[in-house]
Structure 1
Amino acid sequence: MSGDKKVKEKSGLSTFKIIGIVVSVFTIMPLLIFGAIYSTNKTFQYNANKYLKEAPGMVGQYFESIPTKEEREAQKDMVANYFNTLDVNTVSDKLTIIQQEDEELYSDLIKKMISIDKEKANHVLENMRNKNMKKDILLATIDEIDNTKENSLRDRAKYYENLSTANLVNEIKSQIENKEVTYEDMAKTIEYMKEKDALGILENLEKTQVDKFLQYYDPEKKIKFLNELAKMKNKKEELLKYAKIYNAENGENLVEIIGNTKKYKINELSTIYRNMDVKKSGEVIALIEDKEFIYELLNQMKNDEILENNEDTLTPSLMEAIKIYTDYNEKIGELERVYSKMAEADIANIIEKLYTNRNGEKTFQLENGQVINISDKDIAISLLGRLKQQTIGNVLANLDTSLASDISKGLALPN
C-alpha cells in the first residue's frame, strides 16, 4: 500500500510539471516574443499602444500616457522648431547629448531642422564636427600633418610632369640613392602623376627599384602597372625588329612610313630611328619636308639617348648625316631642273660618264666614325630616278645594253 501511495505522489508531481511547462510555453514565451518585437519595432509599438491603453486599471493608464506616433512626430517638430531659434553653439551641445542617448531621435531632429532651415542646420552640423575634432588635438594635428604631406607630394607630382622623362628619371634615381626621399613617398608621388608619365618613369628604372615602388600600391594597381610595363616591353621589341627591316629599305619609300606620325607615335619613331643605321636615318630624315616633325623627332631621340645611355652620342652624328644628304638632295634637284630641259640623248651621254667614272667619289666622316661615300655613280642613279618614267626609258634606250641593264638594277635597288 505504501508503494502505491508513493507512485501516485510521483505521478501527481509529473503532472504538475507538465502543466507548468505548458503554461510557460503558451504564456511566458509569447510575452517574451511580444516584448522583443515591441522594443525593436516602432510601428508595432505604436499599434500595440493603441490597444493596450484600452486595458483596465493601471495598465491602461500607463499606455495612455505614452504618446502616439502622430503625437511623437508633433513633439519632434516642436523641438526642431525650438532648436532653430537658439544659437548654433547651444543647439550643437544639445544635439550632441541627444546623439549619445538616442541616435535615431538625433537623426530625425536633424532631418526636420534641415527641412525648416537648411543653412542653419548645416552650420550646426559643421559646428559639431569642429567640436568633435577639437576633442582630440593630437589626432587633428596628425591629420593636418598627413594632409600637408599629401599636398606636398601632389605638388611634386605636378612639377615632375613638366620635366622631360630623362631629367625626371635621373632626379628620382639621385634622390633615392642620396636618401633624400623614401621609396614610399616617391611611390605615392609617381602614383599621383598621370598614368602615362608614371609608366614612362617605371619603364626606365631598374627592376629592383620598380619592385620597391610597386609594393606600396594596392594589388589591383600593381597588377595593372605590371601588365602595362610588359606590353611596353613587347612593343619595344617589335619596333627593334622593324628598325632592322627598314634599314634595308629604299629611303624615299620609308618617308611615307616613318616620316610622320600616321603609323607610329613620336616615341615609337624615336626607337626605330635610333636603332637604324645613322646613315639610313639621316637619309630618310633629309627627305622629310615637315620641319616641325623633324624637330620633335630629334628632340625625342636626344632625350631617349640620355635616358638610356646617360649621354647623347647619336644625334650629333645624325645631324651631320642629315646635312650631307640634304645638300646632296638639293644638288640633285638643281641638276634635275637643268637636265629636264636637255635632249634625252645628251642626258644619256652625261649619265654614262657619271656612272662609269671611278674617281668621282666624295667621303664624309661622321662624328661617330662612320663614313658616307657619295660617288658619281650614286649621282647618276639619283638623278635618273628623279626624271619622268618616259624620259628614263628613252635615256636607257640611248645607252649600251649592258650599261642600261646595270643602271636599271641600280634604280630598282634600295639606296
Structure 2
Amino acid sequence: MSRARPARAGAVLFGSFDAERRWRPDGLASLPQLADPGADRLVARMDEALFAAAEPGDLLITREPVAPALLHAREAAGFTCEHRHAGGPDTAADVEHQLLADPELLGRVADFARLRPYAVLPGTGELAERTGHASGLPGSGTVVRVNGKAWSSRLAARHQLPGAGRIVRSAAELAEAVRSDVERGHPVVLVKDPYGVAGRGTFEVGSERRLTRLAAHLRRQEDRGLRVEFVVQPRYDRVADFSSHLRVDRDGSWHLLGVQHLANSGYRHEMSGPAPRTLTGNLSDPAHPEVLDVVARALAEEGYDGPVCVDSMVLRDGTWVPVVEVNARMSMGGLNLRLDDRVRAHGLRSHLWQEDAAVADGCGVDHFLKMLREEGLLYDGGSAPGVLPLVGGSLTAPRGRLVCAALCPPESYPRLRAAARSAAAAAGISLARPA
C-alpha cells in the first residue's frame, strides 16, 4: 500500500545521468565503439550537479558522498539544500534502486511533497509508489518511447520540419539510406543509435569502405537475432547549436524556461551559456514558438509531462533544423539556466562547461578549490565574477572530468575559463586539450 501524499513542501532531487543506457531496450543492435569502462564511473558522479536545480528546503540525494569542501563552497556561494547520499553495495544500480534498498532514506523521501528526478527510469515508478508520489510522474514506458531518436525523427517528418532523420531497420536499409544522402551531396553521414548520448552512439560514415564495414558489423548482429534500428542523418554544416528548455503540462500547455547556446566537443556537450537574443527571433518557417508548441503537444498526447530540452541547429546556408532531438528529462543546459536565474540579479550570467582531464595521484576537487580560492577565482556569491565547480567526484586519478560554471558577464567567460584551467593545472589536473 502506498503512503498518503505528504503535506510538506519541498522536492527531492536525484537521478542517473546515464538514463539513455538504462532506457535502451534489450535486443537492439549496436554501433561499433571502443570500450570505455572509465566513462561510466565519471557519469555516475554527475548527479552532484543537480544542486543547481535545488531550492532551500529541498533534499538532494546523490549516489556517493559529496566532498565536504565542495559542499562548503556551494553554501558560501548561496546554494543551500539538505544533502544525503544513497550509497549501497550495488554500485552499478541506478540511484532509484539504491534508494529502494534503504528503508530509512525512503522514509525521508516520503516527507517531501514532490519528486524531481533527472529522468524517469523504470525504477522511478516503484520509488514514487512507495513514497506516496505515484501520481506525480509520467509512466516509464512513455518516457522511454519519447526519448528515442526515432520518436523525434518521426515527429519532425510528420510536420515536414527540415532535417528529419531517416529511420532504418536493417543493415541493407541503412546502407541504402547512407548512399542516398551521399548522392544528394552530403559527403559525411551520421548513423545514430536511438538511445545514444554524449557521442556514444553516433557513427560517422565518410567513405564506402567505412559503410561496408558498418553494414557487415550490423549483419552479424542480425544473424544473432538482434533488431536493427538507427536514425540516418547527414552531417550538416552548422554555424550555431542551441537548446530550448521548457516545462510541459499534461494538457499540452507549456512554459519556455529559456534558450541556451551550445558548444559540443565532437558529439558530446562541452558548454552551455546565454544565447544571443537575436537567435530565435530571426527563425521562421516555422517560427521558434510554433516548433515548441508542436513538440509540447506531441509529448502531452503521448502522456508525458515534465522538463524537456529540444536541441536545434542553424546551418551555414541559413536553414534551421528545429528538432535535432528531444530530451524529455533534465539536461545540462537546463541546470545552467537555473544557475543563470540565480546570478542574473547580480549582473552575472552562467556558463557551464565540462572537459576531460588527467588527474595526478592524490589530487582532486579539494586541491582545485584551494587553488581557485588562492587565485581569487572561486565564486562566493554576490556580484563578483567567479568559478564554481559543479562536480567533485569526477576529479579522481588517473582520469577525470572537470565540470564547472563560470558566473560572469558574457564577455568575461573566455578569460575566466582560461584562468580556471590554469588553476586546475596547478592543482594537478591536466586538461586533455588546449583551450
TM over 0.5: no
Q: Which has the larger radius of gyration?
A: 1
Considering fraction of residues, name the structure with more strand: 2
Please, what TM-score do these two structures have when normalized by structure 1? 0.20
Higher relative contact order (CA 8 A, sep 6+): 2
